[in-house]
């Protein structure tokens, strides 16, 4: 083993800069977070004054009501955004697969929301949802569907779905790009053969196209799920987690605990829990990716 | 002969009807998606050319009665204090994003090449470690990084952002580039080696030029990622003259939240560089993203 490492010593030179940067900025913070999660940190940035309290931070989290509320929000947010973004993106990719005039332009327009900053997107939608002058509310009133403009993001019951709509707006283009590329790998001969054999459009999709896209779909869904689980900007800027925690998800909650209330220890314990969840998601991610590679035989 | 030919017309007609049904469904769906995508952006533009008073009306002016570029003029006027701030934020964003992009390419190119070509012990482990990093949210790293940056004296400097963006952009950059290197035939390098080139020469002279589209794509990704980043900039920078656009816009519009035309104009101008970059280079951009996940 050591001899093998020595033989390949020149190879490491290529990856060394990347690894070095990541060790400093990634490995150390992970270690530090785990350590801090076992300490009580009095408010203020004087972290030297922390005192060891074992697993108290963890028990405090798991027994708090807010934790379950936020976890439930995170679940709805992640699953809802991921599922709908994927379905819309996939359907758009299918509809765009056939060539027609203006296809390139349409595709470019559809991708723009994904390129612009989430901060800009949050402000645009905040204005659209505005409870007095928002355009959606105005349209609803004009059409006689509502007496007065509804409070989309100031009401506990509608805030999370409203934010999910914004998130999907920004995210479905990603699924669309991935699935468009996937569709190009479906062999035409197979589709034509299926057509000759009398398969209708749905049967061709379900029995030929879809099985071919299983790997791409898995990777896309996992990437979306991870991105959604980790999202911060949209809820933070649009609502800051409110009203009454109705739109707090894990990340915004951790941020508020750490930088808002300076409860670093508790926030670190939250981060460690998050870590464990993501690790298990990561296991599937790696499996899906290495499944890709094995099939391909290239790596 | 006749027994085979006879049912054909009917089934063909039925098939055409069905295909048409799918096609029409697809078109209607595309129109719906186009509206969903474009209407918010159109409303942003329409609001940005209204006066503050015109924007705050109910029912709204669907089309501005008196279109005005006042908001844009205010933001771009170096004499005005708002304009000064905005232009400074813009410049800061440009500087941080460009520096991040250049460094990312320099570090990611050799790493991606190594992951694609060499089989050194620990290669797979390292590669997946790189990918796994991609899964963890910024928040986990914020506290320790903040302390680390303070220890090395980088808080409130653009250096802290460049270093952070570099690290967090690297996994994706390496992944994207590896996809490109995987598709460059190794025989090309072997031929160069036989002609007497060293491995490094083969890499610089043969592989680098061929992977130019991948490098361009990676650069666009780094740039857009850095340009749009919010959470680190929000945490690491507190001095007003250091802020990047996403944070800067938030700071000065949270002071007077009623200036929606100004906010929309700022959002629009913040989006222009990345959208233009994307539209000009979208071929590379889309290809790179899918190269890693979908192998040809």
Task: Return the number of CB contacts < 8 Å for A and B.
Answer: 276
Q: What is the mean pLDDT of residues A239-247?
A: 85
Rounded Cα distance between A287 and B119, Å, is 20
Q: Are B24 and A100 in contact (CB under 8 A)?
A: no
pLDDT at B227 (0 to 100): 92
Tell whether the model's pLDDT for residue B73 goes beyond 60. yes
Rounded Cα distance between B23 and B63, Å, is 34
Q: Are B233 and B250 in contact (CB under 8 A)?
A: no
Tell whether the model's pLDDT for residue B291 goes beyond 90. no
Which residues of chain A have a CB within 8 Å of the CB of B93?
none
pLDDT in tens, B218-241: 888 889 889 999 988 988 888 888
Chain centre distance of CA B44: 20
Rounded Cα distance between A108 and A92, Å, is 13
Q: What is the mean pLDDT of residues B165-180?
A: 80
- How many CA atoms are closer than 13 Å to the CA of A133, on its beta-carbon side? 17
pLDDT in tens, B251-260: 777 666 678 8
- More confident call, A279 vs A221: A221
pLDDT at A1 (0 to 100): 67
Instruction: Report the predicted TM-score, pTM, of the whole model to 2 decimal places.
Output: 0.84
Rounded Cα distance between A160 and A41, Å, is 32
- More confident call, B131 vs B81: B81
pLDDT bracket for residue B74 (50, 70, 90)? confident
pLDDT bracket for residue B152 (50, 70, 90)? confident
Whether residue B230 and residue A233 make contact (CB cut-off 8 A), yes or no, is yes
Torsion-angle region of B198 (φ positive above 0: left; ψ -120 to 50: alpha; else: beta): beta
Percent of chain B at pLDDT exceeding 90: 21
Among the residue ranges A98-102, A143-147, B119-123, B225-229, the one predicted with the least confidence is B119-123
pLDDT at A213 (0 to 100): 86
Rounded Cα distance between B210 and B213, Å, is 8
Q: Answer whether residue A299 is part of any domain.
A: no
pLDDT at A297 (0 to 100): 38
Q: Residue B241 has what DSSP assignment?
A: G
Q: Answer whether residue A193 is part of any domain.
A: yes
Q: Answer whether residue A207 is part of any domain.
A: yes
Domain residue extents for chain B: 2-38, 73-293
Which residues of chain A have a CB within 8 Å of the CB of B113?
14
Is B126 part of the contact surface with chain A (CB cutoff 8 Å)? yes
pLDDT at B275 (0 to 100): 92
Which B positions 145-204 lie with beta carbon below 8 A of chain A?
145, 147-148, 163-164, 166-168, 170, 174, 182, 199
Tell whether the model's pLDDT for residue A293 goes beyond 80. no
In chain B, % helix, strand, coil (3-state, to 5) comes to 80, 0, 20
CA-nearest residue of chain B to A281? B135
Picking from B121, B141, B145, the nearest residue to A4 by CB comes out as: B121
Q: Answer whether residue A93 is part of any domain.
A: yes
Picking from A125, A258, A298, the nearest residue to B40 by CB comes out as: A125
Q: Answer whether residue A205 is part of any domain.
A: yes
Count of domains for chain A: 1
Which residues of chain B have a CB within 8 Å of the CB of A232?
137-139, 230-231
Mean pLDDT taken over chain B: 81
Q: Are B224 and B288 in contact (CB under 8 A)?
A: no
Q: Answer whether residue A35 is part of any domain.
A: no
Rounded Cα distance between B253 and B50, Å, is 17
Q: What is the mean pLDDT of residues B113-119?
A: 80
Strand partners, A51: A40
Based on its alpha-carbon atoms, the radius of gyration of chain A, rounded to whole angstroms, reads 24
Q: Are B204 and B217 in contact (CB under 8 A)?
A: no
Based on its alpha-carbon atoms, the radius of gyration of chain B, rounded to whole angstroms, reads 26
pLDDT at B13 (0 to 100): 54
Q: What is the mean pLDDT of residues A36-60?
A: 74
Interface predicted TM-score (ipTM) of this complex, two decimals: 0.83
pLDDT in tens, A122-158: 999 999 998 888 889 888 888 888 888 888 888 888 9
Sign of the CA dihedral running A190, A192, A197, A198:
positive
Q: Are A252 and A231 in contact (CB under 8 A)?
A: no
- More confident call, B17 vs A273: A273
Render the burial of A58-67: b for 16+ CB within 10 Å, e for the rest: bebbeeeeeb
Task: Give the SS3 label for residue A16.
Answer: helix
Rounded Cα distance between A15 and A40, Å, is 38
Tell whether the model's pLDDT for residue A51 goes beyond 50. yes
Tell which residue, B236, B227, B59, has the closest CA to residue B145: B236
pLDDT bracket for residue A48 (50, 70, 90)? low
Which residues of chain B have a CB within 8 Å of the CB of A138?
58-60
pLDDT bracket for residue B289 (50, 70, 90)? low
Instruction: Choose which CATH entry (3.20.20.150, 2.60.40.1180, 3.40.50.300, 1.10.3720.10) describes domain B73-293.
Output: 1.10.3720.10
Rounded Cα distance between B16 and A264, Å, is 64
Is B91 part of the contact surface with chain A (CB cutoff 8 Å)? no
Which B positions 251-270 lie with beta carbon below 8 A of chain A?
253, 260, 263-264, 267-268, 270
pLDDT in tens, B29-59: 999 999 999 999 999 999 999 888 788 877 8
pLDDT at B128 (0 to 100): 66
- Residue carrying structure tokens 């629009």: B268
pLDDT at B98 (0 to 100): 94
pLDDT in tens, A193-235: 888 888 888 888 888 888 888 878 888 888 888 889 888 999 9
Q: What is the mean pLDDT of residues A59-78?
A: 90
Rounded Cα distance between A18 and B108, Å, is 7
pLDDT at B2 (0 to 100): 42
Neighbours of B3 (CB within 10 A): 6
- More confident call, B15 vs A20: A20
pLDDT at A45 (0 to 100): 53
Among the residue ranges A5-14, A90-99, A182-191, B118-127, the one predicted with the least confidence is B118-127
Domain around A189: 56-294
pLDDT at A144 (0 to 100): 84
- More confident call, A34 vs B18: A34
pLDDT at B16 (0 to 100): 55
> If 0-12 CB within 10 Å is exposed, 13-18 middle and 19+ buried, where does residue A188 land?
exposed
The domain that contains A278 carries what CATH number?
A: 1.10.3720.10
**Chain B: closest CA distance from residue A95 (Å):** 5
Whether residue A201 and residue B18 make contact (CB cut-off 8 A), yes or no, is yes
Q: Residue B122 has what DSSP assignment?
A: T
Rounded Cα distance between B130 and A105, Å, is 35
Picking from B33, B147, B278, the nearest residue to A88 by CB comes out as: B33
Q: Which residue out of A88, A115, A212 would a mutagenesis test of the B interface target, given it has the greatest number of B Cβ atoms within 10 Å?
A: A115
Q: Which residue out of B126, B294, B295, B296 would a mutagenesis test of the A interface target, given it has the greatest number of A Cβ atoms within 10 Å?
A: B294
């Amino acid at each position: 083993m050591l001899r093998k490492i020595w033989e390949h010593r020149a190879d490491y030179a290529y990856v060394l800069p990347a690894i070095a940067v990541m060790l400093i900025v990634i490995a150390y913070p992970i270690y530090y977070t785990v350590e801090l999660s076992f300490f009580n940190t009095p408010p203020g940035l004087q972290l030297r004054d922390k005192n060891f309290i074992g697993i108290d931070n963890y028990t405090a989290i798991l027994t708090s009501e807010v934790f379950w509320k936020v976890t439930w929000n995170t679940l709805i947010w992640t699953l809802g955004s991921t599922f709908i973004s994927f379905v819309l993106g996939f359907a758009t990719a299918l509809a765009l697969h056939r060539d027609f005039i203006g296809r390139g332009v349409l595709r470019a327009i559809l991708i723009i929301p994904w390129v612009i900053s989430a901060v800009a997107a949050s402000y645009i939608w905040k204005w659209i949802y505005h409870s007095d002058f928002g355009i959606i509310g105005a349209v609803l009133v004009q059409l006689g569907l509502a007496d007065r403009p509804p409070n989309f993001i100031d009401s506990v019951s509608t805030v999370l779905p409203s934010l999910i709509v914004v998130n999907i707006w920004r995210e479905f283009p990603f699924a669309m790009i991935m699935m468009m590329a996937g569709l190009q790998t479906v062999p035409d001969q197979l589709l034509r053969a299926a057509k000759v054999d009398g398969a209708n459009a749905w049967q061709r999709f379900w029995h030929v196209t879809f099985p071919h896209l299983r790997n791409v779909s898995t990777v896309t869904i996992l990437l979306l799920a991870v991105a959604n689980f980790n999202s911060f900007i949209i809820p933070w800027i649009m609502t800051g987690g409110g009203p009454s925690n109705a739109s707090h998800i894990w990340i915004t909650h951790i941020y508020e605990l750490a930088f808002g209330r300076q409860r670093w220890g508790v926030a670190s314990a939250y981060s460690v829990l998050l870590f464990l969840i993501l690790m298990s998601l990561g296991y599937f991610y790696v499996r899906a990716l290495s499944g890709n590679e094995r099939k391909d035989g290239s790596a | 002969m006749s027994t085979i030919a006879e049912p054909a017309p009917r089934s063909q007609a039925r098939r055409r009807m069905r295909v048409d049904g799918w096609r029409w469904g697809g078109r209607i769906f595309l129109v719906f998606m186009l509206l969903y995508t474009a209407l918010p952006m159109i409303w942003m533009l329409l609001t940005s050319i209204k006066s503050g008073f015109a924007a705050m009306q109910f029912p709204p002016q669907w089309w501005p009665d008196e279109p005005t570029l006042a908001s844009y003029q205010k933001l771009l006027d170096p004499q005005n204090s708002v304009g000064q701030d905005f232009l400074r934020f813009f410049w800061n964003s440009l500087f941080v994003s460009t520096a991040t992009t250049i460094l990312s390419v320099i570090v990611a190119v050799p790493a991606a090449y190594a992951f694609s070509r060499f089989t050194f012990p620990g290669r797979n482990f390292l590669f997946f470690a790189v990918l796994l990093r991609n899964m963890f949210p910024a928040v986990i790293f914020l506290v320790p990084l903040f302390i680390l940056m303070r220890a090395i004296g980088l808080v409130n400097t653009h250096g802290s952002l460049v270093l952070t963006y570099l690290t967090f952009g690297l996994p994706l950059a390496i992944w994207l580039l590896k996809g490109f290197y995987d598709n460059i035939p190794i025989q090309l390098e072997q031929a160069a080696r036989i002609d007497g080139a060293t491995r490094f020469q083969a890499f610089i002279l043969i592989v680098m030029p061929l992977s130019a589209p991948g490098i361009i794509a990676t650069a666009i990704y780094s740039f857009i990622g850095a340009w749009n980043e919010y959470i680190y900039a929000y945490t690491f920078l507190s001095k007003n003259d250091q802020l990047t656009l996403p944070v800067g816009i938030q700071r000065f519009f949270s002071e007077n939240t009623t200036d929606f035309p100004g906010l929309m104009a700022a959002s629009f101008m913040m989006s222009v560089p990345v959208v233009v970059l994307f539209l000009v280079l979208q071929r590379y951009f889309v290809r790179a993203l899918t190269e890693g996940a979908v192998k040809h």
